[in-house]
Amino acid sequence: MTKTVLANATLVLPSEVISGAITFEDGHITAIDQGKTVAADALDCEGDLLMPGLIELHTDNLERHIEPRPRVNWPHASAIIAHDGELASTGITTVFDALRVGSVVSNKKANYGEYARLLADEILDLRGKGALRISHFLHLRAEVCSETLIAELAKFGPDDRIGIVSLMDHTPGQRQFRDLTQLRAYVCGKHGLNESEFESHIADQIALSGRLGAAHEAAAVAEARRFGAVLASHDDTTAEQVETSARHGAHFAEFPTTVEAARACRMARIQVMMGAPNLIRGGSHSGNVAAHVLAEMDLLDIVSSDYVPSALLSAALMLGDLWGDVARGVRTATSAPAQAAGLQDRGALVLRARADIIRVARIAGTASPRGTWVLGRRVA
């Protein structure tokens, strides 16, 4: 691989921002120099930001490509490649593709089936064939309130690039669905249930959780260890729930729904991840705690694009503005998620790190990606 020099740039280093140039060869950073001199063999970045490639721990974006409209099943290879290209174009260079494991098959109307193993195979196959631009790992979202979780988890193993297992519990009346009006709007809108059918669905889910929830939770924790994956909690609401997450060994908490839970995470040394759309919109679409509130209270460590890939870069820069520290804001989408997921080779502009780098302009206050390099190769 040839040497690449990006010069006359604003380098976002781990703890400071400087004017300078960065050189990479054979997929890794080999030099970081201060100053605005542009050598003849360098690309002039015209003062744009250069920062580490963004690291996405939890995204629903692939689902949108797989099913672009309700009940429209798009060819998976095409969907995966389109998803990969979209992430590259927004500055994401490492992604943990979130796949649900655990299904409900007995409910004739509000059901959802198994898909994770097949889709994982397709992602890994495309990766093996060199068809993907960025680095892909798997994130298994273990749905505790389901019928088939243990059987679905058993189909995966340590060779499947599973980086994260998250404990999902969508039992009605708690966590994300404490407010049943939110759940009613979601379930009835998606499955076309009437009021009687919705009430029956609630009762069935609560009974299912009571029957299998504890066994499913224990199995997911054990399987995460078997895979060698990091464990994450999801939608913690109370200090007691955070205490349980800590006991299980959770490294980070996805989208805690209250200040109480976020504070408990800080006390338990569990990193707090919030959704970039929540930050950009100014609040949660589900009525939970606003990301900016946690940021202002110094209770936010990581951001995730969640369901809008382009939101990750914008959120990192917004946090930099909020805190008056660009490097700190960028860390929430680079080094902090890398550390939470156990990746030691990326997430910072430092010597010998992977040359996963993005060039970004700020135009009228909006982040505009101008180039993405993965292992030193330009992919967008």
The string over 335-349, giving b where at least 16 C-beta atoms fall within 10 Å of a residue's C-beta and e elsewhere, is bbbbbbbebeebbbb
Weakest mean pLDDT among 179-188, 200-209, 310-319, 361-370:
179-188
Q: For residue 4, list its beta bridge partners.
A: 24
Residues 225-233, mean pLDDT to the nearest whole number: 98
- Per domain, the residue ranges of the chain are 53-346
Q: Output the CA angle 255-260-266, nearest 5 degrees.
A: 75
Structure confidence at residue 36 (pLDDT): 83
Q: Are 11 and 32 in contact (CB under 8 A)?
A: yes
Q: In this structure, what token pair is assigned to residue 28? A: 């890794």
pLDDT band at 145 (very low <50, low <70, confident <90, very high): confident
Q: What is the largest CA-CA distance in the chain?
A: 72
Give CA–CA dist 239/223, Å, rounded: 25
Look at residue 40 and tell me whether its pLDDT is greater than 90.
no
Q: In this structure, what token pair is assigned to residue 378? A: 């330009």
Residues 178-188, mean pLDDT to the nearest whole number: 63
Nearest to 133 by CA among 365, 360, 371: 371
Residues 217-222, mean pLDDT to the nearest whole number: 97
**CATH architecture classification, 53-346:** Alpha-Beta Barrel (3.20)
Give CA–CA dist 83/150, Å, rounded: 28
pLDDT band at 190 (very low <50, low <70, confident <90, very high): low
Residues 356-368, mean pLDDT to the nearest whole number: 94
Give CA–CA dist 211/240, Å, rounded: 21
Give CA–CA dist 284/290, Å, rounded: 6
Residues 331-355, mean pLDDT to the nearest whole number: 98
Structure confidence at residue 180 (pLDDT): 59
Which residue's structure tokens are 């631009």? 133
Weakest mean pLDDT among 24-28, 156-160, 201-205, 365-369:
201-205
Nearest to 73 by CA among 26, 108, 113: 113
Q: 3-class DSSP state for residue 376? A: coil
Look at residue 322 and tell me whether its pLDDT is greater than 90.
yes
| Structure-model confidence comparison of residues 164 and 285, the more confident one | 164
Residues 58-83, mean pLDDT to the nearest whole number: 94
Residues 97-118, mean pLDDT to the nearest whole number: 83
pLDDT band at 1 (very low <50, low <70, confident <90, very high): low
Structure confidence at residue 185 (pLDDT): 61
- The pTM for the full model equals 0.92
Give the count of beta carbons closer than 10 Å to the beta carbon of residue 199: 13
pLDDT band at 187 (very low <50, low <70, confident <90, very high): low
Phi, psi torsion values for 69, nearest 5 degrees: -140, 155
Residues 70-82, mean pLDDT to the nearest whole number: 94
Nearest to 262 by CA among 316, 230, 302, 231: 302
Look at residue 110 and tell me whether its pLDDT is greater than 60.
no
Residues 276-301, mean pLDDT to the nearest whole number: 94
